[in-house]
Chains A and B, each alone.
Chain A
Amino acid sequence: MSGAAGAGSRLTSMAVMARGLATDDTIEMPITGLEPMLVRPEASTDPVDVLVAEIYARSGGRFVDGLQVAAMLEAQGVTDRTARVQYGYHDVFELAHEVRVRLAGLAHRSPRRPPRHRKRGQTLRELCHGALYLLPVMLFPAVATVTHPRPPVLAIVAAGLLGWVWAGGITWLAYQYVNAGDERAAGRFLALSAVTGVGVAGLLGAVIAVADGGGPTVALLVPAVAAYQLASTLLLYLRDEVWLVALMSPAVIAGVVFALSDRRVPETALIPAVACVAVTFAVAVRRALLVPGTPAGPGVRAVMRGRWATFALVVAHTALLAALILQGQVPYLAGRFDVLVAALPLVVSMGFVEWRVRRFGERSQGMLNDPWGPRHFRRRVWLLLAANVGACCLVAAVAAVTLLAALRHAGWLTPAATAMAATQVALAGACFLIFVLAGHGGYGRLCAVLAVALGAHLAGRPFLATAVAWPAPPAALTDTLANLGSAVLLLGLLSVALSPSLGHVRQYR
């Protein structure tokens, strides 16, 4: 057995090779099971038939060409000498070619497709996001009572803006870690960033309390709102919505009881709220820190790979979106309850929008498996997009009509509230398009479109107030109509912004 010649002589034993095939698990064939062959070759004395049957049983006969068969045979110990002595071919390549030809005559087994997992749980989780975003609203009456007669508008805007942008930025960065295969680092990064974000919010609250007044309530309000936003961001990222619901429920119940009760003691709502937010935040941070995984070790610079400009665009588009939505609502914090409440349909329907975004991605990816060309795909994906935008608008419209009916029943329905509700319907469709465009990496286009829509709202207000031939239109109506116009414009602009990428197959991996 010494030397290559000895090795060659051993190879003449088919049994040895078969044992090698059977025992080794180093390079497994695509189908390694012992499934019965679909086409069992007739008993043959030709050793090549035996070899073909062996290979077919293990691989399903799927080879690209004869060279791949040769590579496989060599890895199993077949040499040129074996090919000559045992099989009667000049070398492994000729033997492999013959094996390939004979394999072609057999039926090919398709590789098993992984079973489809139903995503009902995920759908339910996503649909409930709207309700989760609604939770802080329940505490608004208590906050308004404490700060009466001067609502802390600046503090609410600052907290909302900071929390929104911070959450958007750190989530994007965390996904860069995930894409680099380091979920553990992503969790730790989120936890650390959330704590830092609340610290920044605390400082901001203190500055606003000193500069704008409002005292300790304002100083506490900003970090509390930011803490809730960041905690919910972390728990949604970790798919732990149930923790958010469970931990915030006491605060919500206290807020609802306060709103419905005659004897209004705001502390009964606010103290549980602060406690719940603190606990929820602590739990979210801890769970993010406990994300398992093997540390891959790359720092944020390695993970980012020079994509800081993209990150800046991510932050910018988040800030613009937050500004666009908040600036439509902020003027009504001071007392226009009807208009403020009319902004809720968007919040309620956000879960549905997120669900449809995921399904849109899945459906469009699924369409790639149909036997059509790119043109057909492009047409179908536009139709799918239109259907989903319509569905998002419809759900928001149902919520809006319900709300408007309730307002009318209460005698609070005004034209401004109606315009605000219509704006939310358009924004629901726009949010769907924003998520799709962000998924395509079109952050630059998003920034441009959002900036134009924001500018249109700001410019449209005085235009409507002066140019439209109304007999002195109320300021609220002018503003909400301008807002509606900008939302519709946003829808159109987003459709245009999507057109360069939507029909491109490469966007749907």
Chain B
Amino acid sequence: MSEGTYPFAHGGVSVWCDQLVRGMPEYRWEVVALTVDGSERSRWESPANLDRVVSIPLWCAGGARRRRTRGRPATVFRAAYDTFLTALITPPDPSPDRATVQRSRFLLALRGLYEFAADGGDLAAAVGSNAALGAMQDRWREVGAALGADHPALAGRPLRLTLADAAQAARLIGHMLRPLTVPPTRADVVHCAMNGLSALVGMTAKWTHDTPLLISEHGVYLRERYLEQMHGDLPHPVTVLLLGFHRSVAGAAYHLADALAPHSAYNRRWQLRNGADPGRMWTMYNGVAPELFPSAKTEPDEPTVVFVGRIDPLKDLHTLIRAFAVVRDRVPGARLRIYGSATDLRYRDSCLALVERLGLADAARLEGNAPDLVEAYHSGNIVALTSISEGFPYTVIEAMACGRTMVCTNVGGVSEAVGDAGFVVPPRDVDAVADACVTLLRDPELRSRLAAEARQRVLDRFTLTQSLADYRGLYERLVTPHLERAPTGAARRAAVGRVATTDLRGLASALDPASRTGAGGRGGAPWSRGLWDVHDTSAWIRR
């Protein structure tokens, strides 16, 4: 399950999906992708073990498939939708217990909406109906009255919700609920590449076929939605409803999932904050194949800073360009090479304009897509990443594998990837980025030492083999919760439901970097033992 990524887009999540599918040829795969309108074309060569790609267009007119059966009574919809609305409008409860109740109720409401759609109800029409809009206005007013005028959560909220705002919110939510209206996926395991709308597909599979649900998170879906709306142009009440929806869906998915696989310890914080059960979480780092990213033997003639990634506001290239202006003053002849395609043409233009304005046109270049990533990393003395939001970026571990020292901002799992083998500075801090770059460019010995450490760190912790083994182990555990018994074909088919947490304590401690303290690499006894348990088991199962 993915949203807006594999196989219709490039980027870290797509790379990871492709790695999983190709890296586990013993499994058959089906990719379910949430798309804009279904007209997207695949940008990846389809692996032989990928049986099919199912596209669920969210934003085109008409909506997803509908079954032609008799519709459920409107009362069924109204009951579920009232609970659904209450969850959206009610602010998150600071009490963990009450928050769990909120999530459970929301989950039940989602299931009610799914069943309404499964029985032939037109969910989008029902959500956009006058009755539903009236209910939204009523709930808004009632929740406001119940909380009281001085409640902090109501700050900035109008007392009454206008029909315009209600209609806009309902339209957006109606589109985003479309995954509930398609036939549930049939699989042994549903693995969501992210939380959010993708998780709705996993939920329907779980409700219908009891399929185990695994959710990975590269970035934190909810956090990115919050940031997105910081500069959105929606009216405030619509933003409240929209983000309430995302928050509720994320919390419900954490509540329902059999296993969560955050891609960094940083992500865990957000997941835990939103109700995830630590007993069902295993931090899974991304990995690269070191042989595909060989260490550089030489350095460019001119001191060069390289960026590789999307030209996107989240990458905050403005900070990098401004920092480079400082670097250029202090390291004569320095160059900046920015590789990557633009996801936002206006942002690319703003970068070009900034380069011009700072008089860097002869030193800083937007090179476009890198035809060869290794060459791109090798073309710089150091690699910089100044993002304001990241998960566990491939560009960092790829550059490190290539023997290049990183200057990164401290967002997401970046500091976990870089460790002490590079410079991690605050996001948006032009001077800090510039200081780090200048230090590295002026000190070849330091650069060389950190580069070697970086390469070794990747070999020790972030290889593709390790990453695939971790996932393989988790998949097998999800479909066979009691591995001490020999799984048979029948048992395998019946092996669905929640993973017995007690069975996975060993695996959790083995895979969680927090438990690797002191191990310092693969030689650590607990870690090695846990992984080998999993590897042996999965090999045995396949036999």
Chain B: interface secondary structure? helix
Q: Assuming A75-B389, A373-B163, is B247 touching A80 (CB within 8 A)? A: no
A368 at the interface (CB under 8 A from B): yes
The answer to whether A368 and B163 touch across the interface, beta carbons within 8 angstroms, is yes
User: A372–B138 Cα gap in the complex (Å)?
Assistant: 11
* Interface residues in B387-416 (C-beta closer than 8 Å to A): 388-389, 409-411, 415
B142 to chain A, nearest CB (A): 14
Indicate if the CB atoms of B231 and A28 lie closer than 8 Å. yes
Do B134 and A305 touch (CB < 8 A)?
A: no
Task: Take A23-B322, A26-B313, A302-B39 as given contacts and tell me if A505 and B130 are in contact as well, using a CB distance cutoff of 8 Å.
Answer: yes
Q: Which of A6, A17, A509 contacts B167 (CB 8 A)?
A: A509
Give complex CA distance A21, B319 in Å. 11
Q: Complex: how many Å from CA A306 to CA B168?
A: 25
Interface contact A64-B243, CB-CB below 8 Å = yes
Residues in B with CB closer than 8 Å to A305 are 37-39, 60-62
Q: Do A1 and B425 touch across chains, with their CB atoms under 8 A apart?
A: yes
Contact A505 B92 (CB under 8 A): no
Measured in the bound complex, the distance between the Cα atoms of B273 and A302 in whole Å is: 42
Would you call A7 and B167 a contact (CB within 8 A)? no
Tell me, rounded to whole Å, the shortest Cβ–Cβ distance linking A181 to chain B. Answer: 12
Instruction: Determine the chain B residues whose CB is within 8 A of the CB of A370 once the complex forms.
Output: 162-163
Instruction: Decide: A11 and B426 in contact? CB cutoff 8 A.
Output: yes
Given contacts A3-B420, A374-B131, A505-B133, A65 and B243 within 8 Å (CB-CB): yes
Q: How many residues on A have C-beta within 8 angstroms of the other chain's C-beta atoms?
A: 73
User: Once the chains are docked, how many angstroms separate the CA of A373 from the CA of B426?
Assistant: 48
Nearest CB to that of A306 among chain B residues?
B62
- Which residues of B lie under 8 Å from residue A406 when comparing CB positions? none
Q: Determine if B249 is an interface residue (Cβ-Cβ < 8 Å).
A: no
Q: Which residues of B contact A4 (CB under 8 A)?
A: 410, 415, 418-419, 424
Partner of A508 from the list B61, B167, B316, B428 (CB cut-off 8 Å) is B167
CB-based contact B424/A71 at 8 Å = no
Q: A64-B240, A368-B167, A509-B171 are in contact. Are A10 and B425 (CB under 8 A)?
A: yes
Q: Does B222 contact A (CB under 8 A)?
A: yes
Given contacts A26-B319, A93-B273, whether A368 and B162 have CB atoms under 8 Å apart is yes
- Residues of A22-67 whose CB lies within 8 A of B: 23-30, 59, 61-67
A77 close to B (CB within 8 Å): yes
| B316-A26 in contact (CB<8A) | yes
> A373 to B134, Cβ gap below 8 A?
yes
For residue A241, which residues in chain B have a CB less than 8 angstroms away from its CB? none
Q: How far, in angstroms, from A509 to B172 measured CA to CA in the complex?
A: 12
- A91 CA / B268 CA spacing, docked (Å): 13
A184 at the interface (CB under 8 A from B): no
Residue among A25, A59, A71, A80 with the highest chain B CB neighbour number at 10 A:
A71
Number of B interface residues in the complex (CB < 8 A): 76
Whether the pair B410, A79 counts as a contact (CB closer than 8 A) is: yes
A307/B247 contact (C-beta < 8 A), A7-B426, A61-B156, A72-B230 known: no
Known: A2-B420, A65-B153, A67-B92. A10 touches B429 (CB 8 A): yes
Q: Across the interface, do A368 and B427 meet the contact criterion of CB distance under 8 Å?
A: no
A504 in contact with B130 (CB, 8 Å): yes
Contact A64 B152 (CB under 8 A): no
Flag whether A496 is at the interface (Cβ < 8 A): no
Interface positions, chain B 131-169, Cβ under 8 Å from A, are: 131, 133-134, 137, 151-156, 160, 162-164, 166-168
Given the interface pairs A305-B37, A504-B130, the reply to whether A75 lies near B60 with Cβ below 8 Å is no
Q: A64-B244, A76-B428, A505-B163 are in contact. List 13 more A-B contacts (CB 8 A).
A: A2-B420, A26-B318, A28-B231, A61-B155, A67-B222, A75-B388, A75-B427, A75-B428, A77-B429, A298-B39, A373-B137, A504-B130, A505-B128
Question: Which B residues fall within an 8 A CB radius of A?
Answer: 37-39, 60-62, 91-92, 94, 128-131, 133-134, 137, 151-156, 160, 162-164, 166-168, 170-171, 222-223, 226-227, 229-231, 236, 239-240, 243-244, 247, 269, 273-274, 313, 316, 318-319, 322, 345, 388-389, 409-411, 415, 418-420, 422-432, 435-436, 439
CB<8 Å pairs between A and B, sample of 18: A3-B420, A6-B423, A16-B431, A26-B316, A30-B231, A65-B92, A66-B92, A67-B226, A71-B226, A75-B388, A75-B428, A76-B427, A97-B94, A298-B39, A305-B61, A369-B162, A374-B134, A506-B167
Q: Report, nearest first, the 3 A-B pairs whose CB atoms are least far apart.
A: A20-B428, A104-B155, A104-B152
